[in-house]
Amino acid sequence: MIETLRQAAVALTLAAPLLNVPAAAGEAGAPPMLGFSSTAAAAEREREARLDAALDPAEMRAWLERLAARPHHVGSQWGRANAEWLRERFASWGYEARIETFQVLFPTPVERALEMLAPTRFRARLEEPALAADSTSGQKREQLPPYNAYSIDGDVTGELVYVNHGLPADYEELARRGIDVRGRIVLARYGGSWRGIKPKVAAEKGAIGCLIYSDPRGDGYFEGDVYPEGGYRSRDSVQRGSVADMPIHSGDPLTPGVGATPEAERLPLDEVPVLTRIPVLPISYGDAQPLLAALGGPVAPETWRGALPLTYHLGPGPARVHLRVRFDWSLAPVHDVIAVLPGATAPDEWVLRGNHHDAWVNGATDPVSGLVALLAEAEAVGELARAGWRPARTLVYAAWDGEEAGLLGSTEWAEAHAEELRAKAVAYLNTDSVTRGFLGLDGSHSLERFANEVAREVADPQTSVPVLERARAARIVGAADDEARRRLREEPDLRLGALGSGSDFTPFLQHLGVAALNFGFGGEEQYGQYHSIYDSIDHYLRFGDPRLDYVAAAARTGARLTLRLAEAEVLPLTLERAAAAIGEYVGEIEKLTGTMRRESEERARLLADHTLELAADPTRTFVPPPALDRVPFLELAPIQNAASALAAAAVRFETARAAAVERGLEGATRAELNAFLRGFERRLLLDSGLPGRPWYRHQIYAPGQYTGYGVKTLPAIREAIEFRRWDEANAQVVVVARLLDDARAAIEAMTAKLGG
């Protein structure tokens, strides 16, 4: 292995000049730095070099081993102890550190039972055994058993139906075969979307219970050797996780929109909109196999079949199961650790950097790996501060509690501090798991150029080229077509993915309009033990990032992002790509209607000429799909014009800004410019929120109502179209176009002030 590594390093050192990319940090001929004069940039790079030197791998490993030593879910003793320990660390490094505690609804299991009653009897194990090769797996007394948080209590018996990923399109396939889940219990496999969508759709379709299992096709032996031989999911391992309806809102189910302080008004349990409608339980493939093997009915479509050694049938029945779950619905405390380093010249401008500290069990990968990177960064920044330096703006480091259950800690804190954040927040920088591999970057497009600049200056631990170039290489190799490859090669910057949900950026970005970036490393780990007791120290040090090289790389990346945002004379948020991305989303919307229109027409043809019936096997049930209503041409002109004008205004703004910076900005103008940039993301919010889910206010980025983590850009318009609500789509076009027009007017006003 080492030999191979050395060879690669030699090859890549040779390759670097050919790549024609800026040298990684530390080399001569420094490139310009966004928002910094060349003098200031030199000072900043000097600080970053000291910061890199301060990182201590042995200490990082010790922290990982401490934080993941015991189970530390919401309300646990070790979670509380970790919070205290974290606060002390921050305090010892010179931060104003405190714990902010909220009281949230956090159900834990009292009873979990699953048995098959017919055609044979089988009782599901529902337990993950301790492994000799995994030193923390035996901490049974402290572990939360496998369950899905925010499932309702339930005791149901019914025939089983296999529903693939349990998404709306899967139920279409079942309907084609005459299969209805009403009054039945569905068995869905993990994957295809966020888990919370599965019971939501199942309940909408009339199911009375929902089982979710980890097929070995997803993260088990199909992908690689299972733990402890390899890192992938073993037979009895179960993925825990929240199934609250997070696309409605994140955070405490009882206190939407406000911090879950002791005095906050709380919804009665029976009025909580985000709980599931039916009982849900996650199971292992060891427990799922007898159930699947007992199903009759049609053979599942090819893409539905997993890697178990059996023929996947759909049912319904003859498998008949009894599911019983009951929870303790108490409140529990979440302990957010907040560490502040006040800014010297702009204390009311906050740069926020966060990672959660709670885990489903020991969580060495999720979240401790990312948290350790944040700590290493914070300690190194603290050292700079102890040597007398102060950031211009205020740094706020946060270790969130309760992320796993639904972004509880971050959401409650953001809601509790909403006014202050609206006024002061510059950006929120998030990490979560970090493992060996490639840089991942998603976020507000106003941060795209900045994030690329930083990624160009951090060296990849294994190959020594910039992490940006390694990420680019992976994207080129995985590109869908020539056009995508060409763009990846020719555009200097990698595009950011748009943010949906799944980690703590959501309340900042989508509820409050704080520009957000989510970054991390991964892709070369063997990570098949997500949310099980085997996401452990032993697992991470063998299969995650054995030398914590990428934890260190994440610290170097995070430190640059944080410090540069804190120190920049002019904030490094840029509007050109932000506006261009909106224009591209408008283009996608138009294309989507075209695709849906052709699909409706094709459906009509297939129905009219009976092609589907003729192609179907007459000995099997086949129910033709319903006709689709005609897709009208939408009145997109307002948003097309708005996006086009916004893009042009953004270009003029950036030209004017560059000229003004070149000329030299006087203090008041600079302050006004920074305030404008800080507040720009807020201009993309509507106070009324998205249709049907007012908590989500961002009009460009939101998690999809049927994707969960997956983003829907221009969500109000896009989802109206996807749900075939044509009038609503047209109405939302007008609403969002007006918002974009307002944003453009603000840009133009600022441009004028800059003399553009």
Positions that interact with a copy of itself (CB under 8 A): 1, 4-5, 8-9, 11-12, 15, 18-19, 216, 221-226, 230, 232, 299, 305, 307-311, 437, 462-463, 465, 469-470, 472-474, 476-478, 482, 485, 489, 524, 598, 602, 605-606, 608-621
Whole-number minimum distance, CB 438 to a copy of itself, in Å?
Answer: 8
Lookup result for tokens 């610290």: 555
Q: How far apart are CA 371 and CA 63, in angstroms?
A: 9
Q: Least separation, in Å, of the C-beta of 29 and a copy of itself?
A: 21
- Between strands 320-328 and 108-118, the pairing is antiparallel
Taking the least distance from each CB to a copy of itself, the nearer of 523 and 679 is: 523
- Residues sharing a CB contact under 8 Å with residue 529, sequence separation 6 or more, in sequence order: 219, 227, 231, 232, 233, 234, 237, 365, 535, 536, 539
User: Least distance in Å: CB of 22 to a copy of itself?
Assistant: 15
- State phi, psi for 612 to the nearest 5 degrees: -65, -40
In angstroms, rounded to a whole number, what is the distance separating the alpha carbons of residues 72 and 402? 10
- Is residue 489 classed exposed, middle or buried when 0-12, 13-18 and 19+ CB atoms within 10 A define those classes? exposed
- Residue closer to a copy of itself (CB basis): 16 or 40: 16
DSSP string, 145-203: PS-EETPPPEEEEEEEEE-TT--HHHHHHHHHTT---TTSEEEEES-SS-TTHHHHHHH
Shortest approach of a copy of itself to residue 604 CB, angstroms? 13
Nearer to a copy of itself, 9 or 671 (CB): 9
Minimal distance, residue 7 CB to a copy of itself, in Å:
9
- Torsional sign, CA 441, 442, 443, 445: positive
Smallest distance from the beta carbon of 733 to a copy of itself, in angstroms?
A: 28
Reference 183, options 156, 218, 162, 220; nearest CA is 156
- State in angstroms the smallest separation of the CB of 543 from a copy of itself: 11
Cβ proximity to a copy of itself, 14 vs 387, nearer residue: 14
Give the number of other CB atoms < 10 A from CB of residue 732.
24
**The dihedral of CA 83, 86, 92, 93: what is its sign?**
negative
Environment class of 328 (CB within 10 Å of its CB; exposed 0-12, middle 13-18, buried 19+): exposed
Q: Shortest distance, CB of residue 440 to a copy of itself, whole angstroms? A: 14
Our CB check for a copy of itself shows the closer of 419 and 482 to be 482
Nearest to 657 by CA among 743, 570, 742: 570
* Crossing angle of helices 482-490 and 467-477, rounded to 10°: 170
Show the CA angle centred on residue 210, arms to residues 207 and 212, nearest 5°: 145
Angle between helix 637-663 and helix 667-679 axes, rounded to 10 deg: 150
Q: At what angle do helices 77-92 and 370-386 cross, to 10 degrees?
A: 30
Task: Choose between 27 and 613: whose C-beta lies nearer to a copy of itself.
Answer: 613
Closer Cβ to a copy of itself, 158 or 466, answer by number:
466
Pick 391 or 437: Cβ nearer a copy of itself: 437
Nearest approach in angstroms of CB 542 to a copy of itself is 12
In the complex with a copy of itself, the residue whose CB is nearer, 296 or 692, is: 296
The pairing of strands 701-703 and 393-400 is: unpaired
Nearest residue (CB) to a copy of itself, 449 versus 470 = 470
CB of 599 to a copy of itself, least distance (A): 11
Q: Cβ 492 to a copy of itself, closest distance in Å? A: 14
d(CA 498, CA 9): 33
Closest to a copy of itself by CB, 22 or 230: 230
